[in-house]
Structure 1
Amino acid sequence: MAFTIGLAISSNTMAGDISREQFTSPTLGHDYPYTIYLPRGYDKDAQAPYPVIYLLHGSFGNELDWATQGNLPQIAGRLISAGHIPPTVFVMPGSRSWWVDGYNEPARSAFFDDLLPHIESTYNVGNTRQLRGVAGLSAGGYGALNFALERPDMFAAVAALSPASYVPTPPANSSAKRHPAFQNEQGQFDQDLWTRLNYTAHLEEYRFLVTPRPSSTTSDIPPVPLYISAGRRDVFDAEYHARVLRQAMERIQPGYVRLDLYPGGHTWRVWRASLPAALNFMFQYVERPEE
């Protein structure tokens, strides 16, 4: 099932088409919704597949957020038209969880086991690490970071905008404290689950995967370059947590982490402002298809 989102679009602001789709997810046991942006001139039969960026929404958000509030079609169109990034497919999935296999749904498993195969069999997009990137805002930044750390073999770059990757626990005002993904059967926030699923739990294994072996100057899997942004007036203290994240990642992959700070809070104003920088950063590492 597919239908076009009702957006005001002109050829001067967007170089592509956007639609809302869904497919049956065996992992979830219900339809998996997503919004997809196809660049102008998209050719499903082109010999070279298009790079693909997966954009994750925030807590209690949905698959429409990046298109309707994040201005993804306009921003992507401008960057493509200016030649800053190549023609790219953007996939904006919907999730009821924090992109984890939490108490309410196995969102992490559905992303890897159902969404990626569906996208790669339905659209002419890359199915290799070099042509894939993942990004997200807030809880979506939490998810994107976890995906990249857990599976560095699958993503060439990652961007986490105001990531809700709080250490050691979410602040009291964070929606993580009341989100069904982290609420146990008693309706209480499960701190142990948060600790097991947060990025800190992936760091040592990630370090092992991307660090060169003693007998070699290179690792089997390159590091996943990381872009981070945060607003200086974020009510969840995202700047502090972003600095903690940068420090942790710089120890593992010095030179492959960038942090940008913006005026503003935990709002779409900050995420819209930082998205162009995030995409420009990512396409230093995500391959451009041959002309």
Structure 2
Amino acid sequence: MKRMASLIGGLLLSSHVLASDVFYQQFFSPTLRHHYPYSVYLPDGYDADASTPYPVVYLLHGSFGNERDWVSRGNLPQVADRLIAAGHLPPTVFVMPGSRSWWVDGYNEPARSAFFDDLLPHIESAYNVGSERQLRGVAGLSAGGYGALNFALERPDMFAAAAALSPASYVPEPPANSSARRHPAFLNEQGEFDRERWKALNYTAHLEDYRLNVTPRPTGTREMYPVPLYISAGRSDVYDAEFHARLLRQTMEKIQPSDVRLDLYPGGHTWRVWRASLPAALNFMFQHIEPPATSSSE
């Protein structure tokens, strides 16, 4: 039976957890200057002393959400349990951080910097997870999809795969009904939505550097490999997410034609769509998240 509990120090240091568990944790973030909350899923049989580290996926919540959303509303523990038991995923650690921003260094807090500078080092020191690109993925819904996409494009050296579910990555700017227009991350000192700030922080600002990094040179070499991207959206999304998802797919296919997938679902900008698309997103990501291949002599 799955247990929901606060993680105490002795259990964190225990070598074995007998069943998959979700724990609610926090640590002090120097970047944020306050405690950084997160939920963590540890798979059945998690071994803190195992010689091979576990893959880790960071799951980002949506606008005005929190670190418990993927557990309480997204069914992450049940989906992960099922996919791992069926052999579709290896035993994996899922980290679901909380943020007051849209995963950007916005007007209200430096969420992007805190993610890279504080959260990742903390997780990699507290849990037996890989610190290599091939063992790390990032995904999110709505504003979290916006964040996951930005992270993957900005730091393709750090993620083996990404998934953006109904990403709020609107171009050229959010629709009139989007919460981005009233979110503190994008409100200037006058309390007005800053269009230039949005443009500077959206995924389009990362595209050219990303393209240059992942496109093979005439010699066949490249700076780094592209980050395979899964995208989903509901066909009845009130924020027109299907249109923006199709635009994102078209944009990314010009850079990495074999490494983009878009799935459309009946429904709107709701947890019904995100729960439905989560298994497909994880199956897609784990075609690319894997331990280093073991070399063999022939």
Q: CA deviation at 1:213?
A: 1.7
Partner of 1:10: none
**Are 1:50 and 2:54 an aligned pair?**
yes
Partner of 2:238: 235
Q: Percent identity?
A: 78
**Are 1:258 and 2:261 an aligned pair?**
yes
**Are 1:115 and 2:119 an aligned pair?**
yes
Q: 5+ unaligned residues in a row in structure 2: which ranges?
A: 9-17
SS in 1 for 2:254: helix
Query: For 2:267 and 2:174, how far apart are their aligned partners in 1?
Result: 20
- Say whether the 8 Å CA contact 1:52–1:125 is kept in structure 2: yes
- Say whether the 8 Å CA contact 1:51–1:289 is kept in structure 2: no
Partner of 2:138: 134
Partner of 1:161: 165
SS in 2 for 1:21: strand
Query: For 1:285 and 1:83, how far apart are their aligned partners in 2?
Result: 15
- Say whether the 8 Å CA contact 2:23–2:40 is kept in structure 1: yes
- Say whether the 8 Å CA contact 1:158–1:227 is kept in structure 2: yes
Q: CA deviation at 1:217?
A: 1.2
How many pairs were matched up?
281
Partner of 1:151: 155
Deviation string, structure 1 residues 79-101 (Cα, Å, up to 9, x no partner): 00000000000000000000000
Residues 168-187 of structure 1: pairs in structure 2 closer than 5 A: 168-187=172-191
AA partner of residue 53 (structure 1): V
**Are 1:283 and 2:281 an aligned pair?**
no
Q: What is the TM-score with the length of structure 1 in the denominator?
A: 0.94
- Say whether the 8 Å CA contact 2:55–2:129 is kept in structure 1: yes
Partner of 1:213: 217
Deviation string, structure 1 residues 205-237 (Cα, Å, up to 9, x no partner): 0001101122x2131310000000000000000
**Are 1:246 and 2:242 an aligned pair?**
no
Partner of 1:222: 225
Deviation string, structure 1 residues 178-222 (Cα, Å, up to 9, x no partner): 0000000000000000000000010000001101122x2131310
AA partner of residue 264 (structure 1): G
- Say whether the 8 Å CA contact 1:15–1:78 is kept in structure 2: no
AA partner of residue 203 (structure 2): Y
SS in 2 for 1:252: coil
Q: Which contiguous aligned blocks of 4+ residues in structure 1 show a shift greater than 6 angstroms?
A: none
Closer, same or farther: CA 289–44 of 1 in aligned 2, 3 Å? farther
SS in 2 for 1:277: helix
AA partner of residue 141 (structure 1): G
Q: What is the TM-score with the length of structure 2 in the denominator?
A: 0.92
AA partner of residue 203 (structure 1): L
Query: For 1:290 and 1:43, how far apart are their aligned partners in 2?
Result: 21
Deviation string, structure 1 residues 140-199 (Cα, Å, up to 9, x no partner): 000000000000000000000000000000000000000000000000000000000000
SS in 1 for 2:81: helix
